């Protein structure tokens, strides 16, 4: 395990826009080096629907649809294999080398910003 990152000013954290979205579809992301899903996530009317490539294949695909997730919505789009990922879905590693998605503990406001 890595140690903690170096200290940064709080203003740096405020620049990262993490929002709650709801997964509306999840499909295998063909052509990626590491197995992943192509997710479509609804962040509400202010942000809209965005796509993400997420390495969360330890979740059954159908269990992701309807799930709320946390994602960074203000990174530049990134090419992942032959797909474009518009947001970064947040997660942490599990003991089994999978991904545990960062999700609200209870139903949250779609588009709500992490604070």
Could you tell me the domains of the chain?
16-101 (2.40.50.140)
Average pLDDT of the segment spanning 15-40: 96
Question: pLDDT, tens digit, for every residue of 55-102?
Answer: 999 999 999 999 999 999 999 999 998 999 999 999 999 999 899 999
- Which pLDDT score is estimated for 2? 79
- Which pLDDT score is estimated for 1? 60
Own/partner pairs, 88-94, CB within 8 angstroms, 24+ separation: 88/52, 89/39, 89/41, 89/52, 89/54, 89/56, 90/18, 91/54, 91/55, 91/56, 94/58
- Which pLDDT score is estimated for 3? 83
């Amino acid at each position: 395990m890595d140690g903690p990152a170096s200290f940064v000013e709080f203003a740096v954290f405020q620049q990262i826009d993490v929002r709650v979205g709801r997964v509306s579809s999840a499909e295998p992301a063909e052509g990626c080096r590491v197995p992943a899903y192509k997710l479509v996530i609804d962040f509400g009317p202010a942000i809209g629907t965005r796509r993400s490539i997420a390495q969360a294949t330890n979740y059954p695909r159908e269990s992701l649809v309807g799930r709320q997730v946390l994602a960074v919505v203000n990174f530049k789009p990134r090419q992942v294999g032959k797909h474009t990922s518009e947001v970064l879905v947040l997660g942490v590693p599990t003991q089994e080398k999978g991904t545990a998605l960062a999700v609200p503990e209870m139903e949250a406001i779609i588009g709500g910003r992490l604070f």
